Amino acid sequence: MNYPWNWAVFLQPSPDGTGTYLGTLVSGLAWTVMVALSAWALALVLGIIVGVARTLPNRSIVRLATAWVDVFRNVPLLVQIFLWYFVVPELLPASMGTALKQIQPPWGAFLPATLGLALFTSARVAEQVRAGIQSLARGQQQAATALGMTLPQTYRFVLLPMALRIIMPPLTSEFLNAVKNSSVALTVGLVEVTAAARAIQEYSFQVFEAFTAATIIYVVLNLAVVLLMRRLEKRLAVPGLAWAAGAGH
Amino acid sequence: MDGLDFGVVARNLRYLLSEGLVFSLTLTALAAAGGAALGTVLALMRLSSQRWLSVAAAAYVNLIRAVPLLLVIFWFYFLVPYVGAWALGRNEPIKVGAFWSSVITFTMFEAAYFAEIVRAGIRSVPPGQTQAGYALGMRYRQVMALVVLPQALRNMLPVLLSQTIVLFQDTSLVYVLSITDFLGAATKIGQRDGRLVEMYVFAAIAYFLICYALSWQVRRLQSRVAIVR
C-alpha cells in the first residue's frame, strides 16, 4: 500500500476563494455549527410542544401530535430535505416558489436543510419529552391540580421542569445526532465539514488527510457538546434529587 | 409549470421496485446480518476481561459513533480499495464495486451501533445465569452461546429491529455515491422525465408506509416477547 501522504496540503491555496484548504475546513465547520444549532433550537421548541401535546387530556390533539411524530420519524432525513428543497417550492404558488428558488446559494441550501433537520429531530425530541412526562409519578400532576393550578400552570411549574431534567442524557444524544445529521445538508449543495473534506479530496487528491481532518473536527464537536450538556445538567440539577441529575452516580 | 402527473410513477413502478427497492432491501438485510454478527463480537470484546480487547473495541465503537454516516461512507469508499490491496498484497488499490463498497460500509457502521445494543442486552441478563453456567462446568464459549446470548437476544430483539428500520432509512444516503437504490432510482427517473416533484413525493410516501408498517410490527413483537417478571 503506497499512498503519498502530504499533511502540508492544508496550507496550500484552495480554488474556492477561502484562501487555503484550512480555510475551506474552517468555513465548513462554521456551516456545520450553524445548521446544527439552528436546527437543534427549532427542534427543541417544536419537540417540547409536540411532546407535551401527546400527554394532554384531549384525544384529537394527541392524535395530531402522534401523526407528527410518525410522519417525521418514518421518512429518511435525506428524503425530507429533498422534499423541502425540490418539492415544496414547486407546490407553492408560482411567485412564492420562484422567490424561494432565487435565494442566494448558501442560504438557498441552508434553509431547506435546516428546516428538514429540525422537523426530523423534533419528532425524536417529542418522543423523549413524552417519555419524560409519563415517567413522572401521577401524584405530581394530582398535587398540582389539588393546589388549584390550571393545566398550563401544571406543565409550566411542575411537569416540564422535572421531565426536562430527567431527559437530559437522551437529549444530549439527540443533540449529537443533530450535529452528525447536519452533514446531510451537503446533498443540496451546502459546503459543511463533510462536503469541505470532499472538496479538498477532489481538488488536491489528498483524500485521507482531508477525511482525517473532518473526523477530528467531528470528534471535537462531540466532546464539546457532551461537556456543555454535562455542565448544564450539573447546574440545573435539583439538590438532593440524585436521579434527576442523570449522570450523577 | 405544467400540472403534476403521477402517471410517471405507475409507468416506472417495475424499475423502481425491481432495481431500486430490491437494492435497498438487499443492502439492509446484508448490513443488518453482518452488523449484528460483528456487533456481537465487538460487544463480547468490550465486556472481555482482556484489557486491550475492550479498549480496542471501545475505541472503534466510540469513533464510528462520533462521525456522521456520510463521512463514514466516503471514508470506506476510498479506504476499502487500499486495505484490499494491502490484504491481497497488491501494489495498486483494488477495484471494489459500488454495491460491495456500500455493503462493507454499512456493515462496519452498523456494527458499532449493534455492539452497544448487544452489550446492553448481555448486561440485562442477571449475573446468576453466568455463574450457574460456570457452576455446571460450562466453558466461556458455552456459557455465552447457550445461556447468556439467547436470553440477551430476546431482551434486545425489539431494539435491534428498530435499529434495522433506521438502517433501512439510512441506506438512502448511498445517493452520494450515485448508486441506484430506491431513492437513486426515483431520482434518475425524475431527472430523465423532469418529474422530480412526483418522484420524491412518491419516494417519501413509500418510505413512510414501509417504515411505519415495520415499526408497527416491532411494537407488536415487543409486547409478545416481553418476559413477565
pLDDT in tens, A89-137: 988 888 888 888 888 878 889 999 999 999 999 999 999 999 999 999 8
State whether residue B180 is helix, strand or coil: coil
> Is the residue at B145 inside a domain?
yes
| Residues in chain B whose Cβ is within 8 Å of chain A | 1, 63, 66-71, 74-75, 78-79, 82-83, 85-86, 91, 169-170, 172-173, 175-176, 183, 196-197, 200-201, 203-204, 207-208, 211-212, 215
Entry pTM: 0.91
CB pairs A-B closer than 8 Å: 100
Query: Would the CA dihedral through A127, A128, A131, A132 be positive or negative?
Result: negative
Distance from CA of B7 to the nearest CA of A (A): 17
| B175 contact residues in A (CB cutoff 8 A) | 78, 187
- Rounded CA-CA distance A42/B228 in Å is 40
What residues of B are in contact with residue A207 (Cβ under 8 Å)?
A: 78
Quick one: pLDDT band at residue A204, thresholds 50, 70, 90? confident
Cβ-Cβ contacts under 8 Å, B203 against chain A: 79
Whether the CB of A197 is below 8 Å from some CB of chain B: the reply is: yes
The answer to the question of residue B165 being in a domain is yes
Beta-carbon count within 10 A of A52 CB = 20
- In the prediction, which pLDDT does A249 show? 41
Contact yes or no for A36/A225 (Cβ under 8 A): no
Q: Cβ separation of A194 and B70 shorter than 8 Å?
A: yes
% of chain A surpassing 70 pLDDT: 96
Which chain B residue is nearest to residue A209, measuring alpha carbons?
B75
Inter-chain residue contact A79 with B204, CB threshold 8 Å: yes
Question: What pLDDT was estimated at residue B89?
Answer: 85
Q: What is the CATH number of the domain that holds B187?
A: 1.10.3720.10
pLDDT at A246 over 80: no
Is A211–B75 a contact, with Cβ atoms under 8 angstroms apart? yes
In a domain, B115, yes or no: yes
The pLDDT score that the predictor gives to residue B225 is 80
| Distance between B154 CA and the closest CA of chain A, angstroms | 23
Place of cell 438487499: B26
- Nearest-10 crossing angle of helices B182-193, B22-46: 150
Q: Is residue B2 included in any domain, yes or no?
A: no
Cα→Cα distances A148→A26, A139, A144, A154, A156, Å: 54, 14, 7, 9, 14
**Backbone phi, then psi, for B68, in 5-degree steps?**
-65, 150
Instruction: Enter the C-alpha cell of residue B26.
Output: 438487499
**Which residues does chain A have within 8 Å of residue B106's beta carbon, measured at their own beta carbons?**
none
Rounded to whole angstroms, the Cα distance separating B104 from B81 reads: 11
The grid coordinates of residue B97 equal 464495486
Mind telling me how many Å the CA of A48 is from chain B's nearest CA? Answer: 23
Residue whose C-alpha is closest to residue A193's, from A205, A184, A202:
A184
Indicate the helix (H) or strand (E) that contains B113.
helix B98-123
Output the CA torsion sign for A235, A237, A242, A245.
Answer: negative
Mutation for B interface: A2, A66, A75, most B CBs within 10 A: A75
pLDDT beyond 60 at A139: yes
Tell whether B98 is covered by a domain.
yes
The pLDDT tens digits of the residues spanning A212-243 come to: 999 999 999 999 999 999 999 999 888 777 55
- In this prediction, residues A180-206 reach a mean pLDDT of 92
Q: How far apart (Å, rounded) are the C-alpha atoms in residues B134 and A226?
A: 39
Which chain B residues touch A112 with a CB distance below 8 Å?
none
Are B26 and B100 spatial neighbours (Cβ–Cβ below 8 Å)?
no
> How many domains is chain B built from?
1
Check: CB of residue B107 under 8 Å from CB of residue B30.
Answer: yes
pLDDT at B5: 84
Question: The domain containing residue B217 runs over which residues?
Answer: 7-225
pLDDT score at B93: 84
Does the beta carbon of A81 lie under 8 angstroms from any beta carbon of chain B? no
Report the residue of chain B nearest A69, measured CA to CA. Answer: B212
Q: Is residue B101 part of a domain?
A: yes
Nearest-angstrom CA–CA distance, B194 and A224: 44
Sign, Cα dihedral of A59, A63, A69, A73: positive
DSSP one-letter code for A13: B
What pLDDT was estimated at residue B2?
A: 58
| pLDDT at residue A244, as a whole number | 47
User: CA–CA separation, B218 vs B194, rounded Å?
Assistant: 38
Q: Which parts of chain B have pLDDT scores under 70? A: 1-2, 227-229
Q: Which of A74, A187, A214 sits opposite B215 (nearest CB)?
A: A74
User: Does residue A202 sit at the B interface (CB-CB below 8 Å)?
Assistant: no
Phi, psi of B3 (to 5 degrees): -65, 175
Q: Which residues pair with A20 in a beta bridge?
A: A13
- Cβ distance B70 to A79 less than 8 Å, yes or no, reads no
Rounded Cα–Cα distance for residues B212 and A67 (Å): 11
Q: Are A75 and B211 within 8 A, CB to CB?
A: yes
Q: What is the pLDDT of residue B199?
A: 94
Say which amino acid occupies A30: A
- Determine, yes or no, domain membership for B1: no
Q: Who wins on pLDDT, A245 or A20?
A: A20
Task: Spell A159-171 as b/e; 16+ CB within 10 A means b.
Answer: bbebbbbbbbebb
- The per-residue b/e assignment along B162-192, b for 16 or more CB within 10 angstroms, e otherwise, is bbbbebbbbbbbbbbbebbbbbbbbbbbbee
Per the structure block, which three cell numbers stand in for B146? 447457550
C-alpha cell at A37: 444549532
Is the distance from CB of B155 to CB of B124 less than 8 angstroms? yes
Angle between helices A193-204 and A207-236 (to 10 degrees): 170
Check pLDDT > 60 for residue A1. Answer: no
- With CA atoms as reference, the chain B residue closest to A196 would be B71
Query: What does residue A13 show for φ and ψ, rounded to 5 degrees?
Result: -65, 140
**Could B68 and A180 be called an inter-chain contact, meaning their C-beta atoms sit closer than 8 Å?**
yes
Write down the mean pLDDT value for chain A.
91
Strand partners, A13: A20
**Which domains, ranges and CATH numbers included, belong to chain A?**
15-245 (1.10.3720.10)
A95 touches chain B (CB under 8 A): no
